[in-house]
Structure 1
Amino acid sequence: MKVIAFVRKEQGTGASRRLRNAGQTPGIVYGGSDAPVNISLDHNALYHALKKETFHSSILDLEIDGKVQKVLLRDFQVHAYKQLVLHADFQRVDAKQAIHVKVPLHFINAEIAPAVKLHGAIISHVLAELEITCLPADLPEFVEVDLTNIEVGHSIHLADLKLPKGVSAVSQENLTVATASIPAGKVEAEAEAAAAPAAATPAAPAADKK
């Protein structure tokens, strides 16, 4: 994905306010051997790009005054109640140096999992994203979590995930990624339904004495 930016010479709160009023968003690009550079970006283009999942977990081509460099989106700030991006931070990446980045988890095959198909269980997503380390060229847009074999009362853990080649999880703990459980209300309803026929069965009449 490509991002167009321009060098921002004016600094300070007043300059940033004027920039935003003109439809621009202030930002900065840092990292690598070059000095940090203050930049400005088209607000509407940035606002819509931020809605795309891949924009947050992909190597971006940042073009500043005609020169392109590889970067990652590292942070951004939005207004508390307005649809306004206040600032964006980008970090330069080196093709030969590993990066740490959070990527989204995509959960697949829940509908055919035994827990769901046979028992109507609910799959709870404990994690929504995973922090990984890899070279920039190996960065995946997302990591899949296959729920095909999950049973009721069981969980998917970090060790169960098949990470792409060249990708490692940053965490050394075997984190819980997803769980399968029967909703409490459904368990109670099934218990009541099972007990109802027994309670409704009339007692057998006593034999008449002759």
Structure 2
Amino acid sequence: MKVVAFERSVQGTGASRRLRNSGKTPGIIYGGKDAVTVIELDHNALFHALRKEAFHSSILDLEIGGKAQKVLLRDYQMHPFKPLVLHIDFQRVSATEKVHMRVPLHFINAETSAAVKLQGAVVSHISTELEVSCLPADLPEFIEVDLGKIEVGHGIHAKDLTLPKGVSLVLHIEQENPVLANARIPAVKSADTEAAPAAAPAAESPKDKA
């Protein structure tokens, strides 16, 4: 994805406020061997870009003065109640250095699993993203979590996933192996199932025998 920015010569709280009033968003680019660069971006274009999943998990081509550099979105601040981006941070990346990035999870095939189709289970998504390590060229926009074989009372863990080539779990995720999704029978349904056999003898009363 391409992002167009402009170098910002004036800094400070007052300057940032004036930028926002003129439809711009202040930001910075840091990392690598170059110094921190202060920038400004068109607010409306940035606001709509932030609504796209790929903008948060992809290597971005950030263009300044006709020259592009590879960056990752690292942080941004929103106004507490207005649809307004107050500030944004990008980090430069090198093609030869691995990056740590949170990648969205896309859950598939839950509706075709035996747990859902035959047992009436409900699948819960415990995590919606996963932190991975890879070279920028190998960074996936998302990772699929196949729920086709999920079983009731069991979960899909991080280490159960088949990761794309060149992608690995970061160390603490590898060690913790968190649950990403699980399947449970709804409590109400379980109660109904247990109550049904108990209700059967009550159908026969002394009056019926008479």
Q: TM-score normalised to the size of structure 2? A: 0.95
Structure 2: 5+ residue runs without aligned partners?
A: none
Write the distance in 2 (CA, Å) between the matches of 1:94 and 1:87: 24
Write the distance in 2 (CA, Å) between the matches of 1:201 and 1:180: 37
Residue equivalent to 2:83: 83
The answer to whether structure 1 residue 19 and structure 2 residue 19 are counterparts is yes
> Structure 1 stretch 191-200 or stretch 145-154: which is displaced more?
191-200
> What are the within-5 Å matches in structure 2 for residues 90-129 of structure 1?
90-129=90-129
Residue equivalent to 1:205: 209
Amino acid of the structure 2 residue aligned with 1:185? V
Amino acid of the structure 1 residue aligned with 2:74? R
Amino acid of the structure 2 residue aligned with 1:10? V
Looking at secondary structure, tell me which structure has more helix per residue: 2
Write the distance in 1 (CA, Å) between the matches of 2:36 and 2:209: 92
Question: How far 1:66 sits from its partner (Å)?
Answer: 1.1
Amino acid of the structure 2 residue aligned with 1:106? H
Amino acid of the structure 2 residue aligned with 1:181? R
> What are the within-5 Å matches in structure 2 for residues 59-208 of structure 1?
59-170=59-170, 171-172=173-174, 173-203=176-206, 205=209
Amino acid of the structure 2 residue aligned with 1:187? S
Give percent identity, aligned residues only.
66
Amino acid of the structure 1 residue aligned with 2:90? F
Question: How far 1:205 sits from its partner (Å)?
Answer: 3.3
What is the CA deviation profile of residues 49-73 of structure 1, one whole-angstrom value per residue up to 9, with x for unaligned ones?
0000000000000001111000000
What is the CA deviation profile of residues 113-172 of structure 1, one whole-angstrom value per residue up to 9, with x for unaligned ones?
111011111111111100000000000001110001111111111111000000001122
Write the distance in 1 (CA, Å) between the matches of 2:196 and 2:87: 57
Question: How far 1:192 sits from its partner (Å)?
Answer: 2.3
Structure 1: 5+ residue runs without aligned partners?
A: none
Tell me the secondary structure at the aligned position of residue 18 of structure 2: helix
Write the distance in 2 (CA, Å) between the matches of 1:92 and 1:42: 20
Indicate the RMSD between aligned Cα atoms, in angstroms: 1.2
| Count of aligned pairs | 206
Write the distance in 2 (CA, Å) between the matches of 1:205 and 1:57: 71
Tell me the secondary structure at the aligned position of residue 28 of structure 1: strand
Amino acid of the structure 2 residue aligned with 1:124? S
> Structure 1 stretch 24-33 or stretch 188-197: which is displaced more?
188-197
Write the distance in 1 (CA, Å) between the matches of 2:85 and 2:119: 45
Residue equivalent to 2:53: 53
Amino acid of the structure 1 residue aligned with 2:57? S
Write the distance in 2 (CA, Å) between the matches of 1:86 and 1:73: 14
What is the CA deviation profile of residues 16-69 of structure 1, one whole-angstrom value per residue up to 9, with x for unaligned ones?
000000000000001111101000000000000000000000000000111100
Write the distance in 2 (CA, Å) between the matches of 1:168 and 1:101: 11
Amino acid of the structure 2 residue aligned with 1:205? K
Amino acid of the structure 1 residue aligned with 2:46? L
Which of 1 and 2 has greater Rg? 1
Write the distance in 1 (CA, Å) between the matches of 2:46 and 2:196: 55
